[in-house]
Structure formats: C-alpha cells, structure tokens
Amino acid sequence: EAQVTQNPRYLITVTGKKLTVTCSQNMNHEYMSWYRQDPGLGLRQIYYSMNVEVTDKGDVPEGYKVSRKEKRNFPLILESPSPNQTSLYFCASRDPGSSAFFGQGTRLTVV
C-alpha cells in the first residue's frame, strides 16, 4: 500500500529540547516536503527536497532543519524548539504530474 508514515503522531516537549520527527515514503518519490498547519494560515511549506542530498527552504524554514540521506526518508529536526513551533506538521511526497501523498500528521506542543 502506498503511504507516507510519520512518527510520532503526538509529541509534547519542553523549550530547547532537540527533537526529530521522522517521515518515510514507500513510493520511490523524488520529491518530499514538510508543512506546518496553523489555524487560519492553511499549510505552509517548511522545507522540501527534490532528491537525495538536495534540500531547500520553503516559506517558513526558521528554526527547522532537514536531511535527505536516503530517498525514502526525510526527517524534520527542531534543534531548539520554541512555543511558536507548536503546530500540526505534515510530511508529503509526490512526483511531477501526480498528486501528493500526505502522512497522518504530527501534533507538536512545545511548552
């Protein structure tokens, strides 16, 4: 079954404690991306990757890092989380000319 898997689904952490949200896809897609969703703001792209070892900033990259060492995995790293990073995060993958597949989301709370 084609899918994008994110973990964890829910996470509560404290300010400044590094965390990683994992994302894995099984469709051999080249393109993967991270979005955050906030009320009234829709989905905003954080980072994207067009292939292994190729990453670039989206619209709201501050405070986030990503890596793409393997085609299937695209983890999102918060080196020093802050309360304004409390949000719902989605990982997605797609190829040109196709629709995007989304993970189930990770609800992050930073206290």
Partner 1 sequence: AQSVTQPDIHITVSEGASLELRCNYSYGATPYLFWYVQSPGQGLQLLLKYFSGDTLVQGIKGFEAEFKRSQSSFNLRKPSVHWSDAAEYFCAVASGSGYALNFGKGTSLLVTP
Under the rule (CB under 8 A), what is the footprint of partner 1?
30-31, 33, 35, 40-45, 48, 50, 58, 90, 92, 94-97, 99-100, 102-105
Least Cβ distance, residue 41 to partner 1 (angstroms)? 6
Of 81 and 103, CB closest to partner 1: 103
d(CA 89, CA 32) in angstroms, rounded, equals: 13
Strand runs labelled E in the chain: 4-7, 10-13, 19-25, 31-38, 42-51, 54-57, 65-66, 76-78, 87-94, 101-102, 106-110
Of 69 and 97, CB closest to partner 1: 97
Least Cβ distance, residue 27 to partner 1 (angstroms)? 14
